[in-house]
A and B are shown apart, each in its own frame.
Chain A
Amino acid sequence: NAGVTQTPKFQVLKTGQSMTLQCAQDMNHNSMYWYRQDPGMGLRLIYYSASEGTTDKGEVPNGYNVSRLNKREFSLRLESAAPSQTSVYFCASIVSGGTDTQYFGPGTRLTVL
């Protein structure tokens, strides 16, 4: 049971390049989330998927798209990366059954030059 896994761990992009951050969980959780964390700040919600087949915007969705590929996987895509998207990205999933406790992956550290 690996929990929540994210790939890659590190990535450097040039402005305008695209990439997809991958997230998978093996805990049979229904809901999954993408956050970004900027230096000295808390986490801000980018997008979330309450259940397979649904996605919704969070607090800071601009410049991102997501895909809930199946119950296990939730990807985050940057179509045209900008320096303002330099951040650490965390994926999380939620225990099914009525609590809001989210379990987080180890993060992807993205630098956009």
Chain B
Amino acid sequence: GESVGLHLPTLSVQEGDNSIINCAYSNSASDYFIWYKQESGKGPQFIIDIRSNMDKRQGQRVTVLLNKTVKHLSLQIAATQPGDSAVYFCAENGGGTSYGKLTFGQGTILTVHP
């Protein structure tokens, strides 16, 4: 199957800065994308999602951007806080009959320094 990958495996920022985490996907049939946050010793936690008929979606302090032309997904975190330190994964659903089956990227480690 096709895979989802990340450009940057690690990202270090200062508290209060904005963070941008990137993700490249290769399956043009995918129509649903999700960002997860995983803290040490815990399961992935849903952050925000976006469907392929959208190019931007905003949540609380987070924004996901989708560029279907270049198959790129990004997660923007505003005013990053130490509690945002975690591994962030993007995932895609593969579209069509792949309903509910997600393909995950490798993850980006975000470290926020006080």
Contacts and interface: CB of A to CB of B under 8 A. Distances in A.
Nearest to A48: B101
A13 interface: no
B106 A48 contact: no
B1 A42 contact: no
A107 B4 CA distance: 22
B19 interface: no
A99 B107 contact: no
A33 B102 CA distance: 10
A102 interface: yes
Contacts of A103: 46
A31 interface: yes
Given A42-B105, A42-B107, A99 B42 contact: no
Interface residues of A, number: 25
Interface string B93-114: 1000001111111110000000
Interface residues of B, number: 22
A110 to B, nearest CB: 14
Nearest to B94: A100
B89 interface: yes
Given A45-B101, A101-B34, 14 more contacts: A40-B107, A42-B104, A45-B102, A48-B100, A50-B100, A94-B100, A100-B32, A100-B93, A100-B100, A100-B102, A101-B46, A102-B102, A106-B43, A107-B42
A76 B89 CA distance: 24
A106 B106 CA distance: 19
A4 B45 CA distance: 12
Given A100-B32, A104-B44, A107-B43, A58 B101 contact: yes
